[in-house]
Amino acid sequence: MSEVWLIASGKGGVGKSTTAAALGMALARGGRTVCVVDADIGLRDQDAILGVENAVVYDLIDVARKGCALEQALVALPGEPRLQLLAASQFARARDLNAKAFGKIIDRLREKFAFTLIDCPAGIERGLRNLLTCGADGAILVTTPDAVCLRDAERTSQLLREKGMPEVRLLVNRVNPLLVERGETPSAAQAAARLELQLLGEIPEDLNVCRAALNRLSVLDVPCEAREAYLRTAARLRGEKAPFPGYGTKKRSLWRRLFGPALKEMKPID
């Protein structure tokens, strides 16, 4: 059985590309064949995130316009025999990708890979709409827990449902346990309840995500909380059960309450 998931968001910069790369790698290391498709036309990121920017010769638009064979455009990842990338074009625009041609590419990827993860452009404009008819099994909607981002996620969820997306699951990224504890942001479970979506994953705010990228490493290759969270999320995507830690919702031990990190009440300057 093969599965195709769109990785979408209302607002940009919420962690879609980080998520596509981390989940792709986690699924591949767990024994599944995976293709990550960078469909953020004109803003190609995945080749850099996956560390293969020098290996990209052909891209999604080259294949969609029939200039080259799909096999020629798929980029193998060194040391990751089950993971491949179909890169986005750096110079094309969203309108250069024909929805029908994209659907045909996805049909062929479905035959080759157990999982196809499509890293989508942010928002609900043409860039995303072009991808909605590709026959995906579902969408992973990525959001951060702040009010603006949740509102955009809600709008995107509505569009996905209106367009007949069979399943929409929520991934709440950059959850800061201290802000949840103080009630300044909702927990991941509260965000999912507000959006009436099933929670697929909660990833904590973790400096190691940025640091891994700066050091050209995968977040899965550094020991950190975000790594564990992505591994649990990949397990859920495989249909397995994995616990939700509920960042910021559990009562802290006396020791951590006394000596752990704390936030003071925020007061505006007079």
Ligand X SMILES: Nc1ncnc2c1ncn2[C@@H]1O[C@H](COP(=O)(O)OP(=O)(O)O)[C@@H](O)[C@H]1O
Interface residues with ligand X (CB under 6 A) are 9, 12-18, 45, 173-174, 203, 205-206, 209-210, 213, 226
- Tell the smallest beta-carbon distance from residue 79 to ligand X (Å): 21
Is residue 17 a contact point for Mg ion (CB under 5 A)? yes
Residue among 45 and 202 whose Cβ is closer to Mg ion: 45
Confirm if 132 and 160 have CB atoms less than 8 A apart.
yes
- Min CB(83)–ligand X separation in Å: 17
Residue pair 139/153 in contact by the 8 Å Cβ criterion: no
Tokens of 84: 């491949």
Quick check: helix, strand or coil at residue 176? coil
Minimum CB distance to ligand X, residue 18 (Å): 3
If contact means CB under 5 to 8 A according to the sort of partner, which of ligand X, Mg ion, none does residue 209 touch? ligand X
Instruction: Tell me the closest approach of the beta carbon of residue 83 to Mg ion, in angstroms.
Output: 18
CB of 128 vs Mg ion, minimal distance in Å: 12
The distance of closest approach from Cβ of residue 66 to ligand X in the complex, given in angstroms and rounded to an integer, is 28
* Nearest by Cα to 144 from 7, 6, 9: 9
Residues 6+ apart with CB under 8 A from 119: 7, 16, 17, 20, 36, 37, 38, 39, 40, 45, 46, 88
Sheet holding 74-77, edge to edge: 74-77, 80-86, 34-38, 115-119, 3-8, 138-143, 168-175, 198-204
- Which of ligand X, Mg ion, none interacts with 173 (beta carbon under 5 to 8 A by kind)? ligand X
Q: What is the DSSP string of 132-162?
A: TTS--SEEEEEE-SSHHHHHHHHHHHHHHHH
Q: Which is nearer to Mg ion, 11 or 16 (CB)?
A: 16
- CA–CA distance, 165 with 115 (Å, rounded to integer): 17
CB 142 within 8 A of CB 173: yes
User: Least distance (Å) from ligand X to the CB of residue 94?
Assistant: 15
Question: Number of residues in contact with Mg ion, rule: CB under 5 A?
Answer: 3
CB-wise, 13 or 183, nearer to Mg ion?
Answer: 13
**Ordered alpha helix ranges (H), 147-224:** 147-162, 177-181, 188-195, 207-214
Judged by CB, which is closer to Mg ion: 7, or 73? 7
Residue 46 binds: one of Mg ion, ligand X, none (C-beta under 5 to 8 A by kind): none
226 binds, among Mg ion, ligand X, none (CB under 5 to 8 A by kind): ligand X
Between 13 and 67, name the residue whose CB sits nearer to ligand X: 13
By CB under 5 A, residue 173 contacts Mg ion: no
CA distance 121 to 65: 20
Q: Which does 260 bind (CB under 5 to 8 A by kind): Mg ion, ligand X, none?
A: none
**Scanning residues 18 to 47, which ones bind Mg ion (CB under 5 A)?**
45
Say if CB 89 and CB 59 are below 8 A apart: yes
Task: List residues binding Mg ion (CB under 5 A).
Answer: 16-17, 45
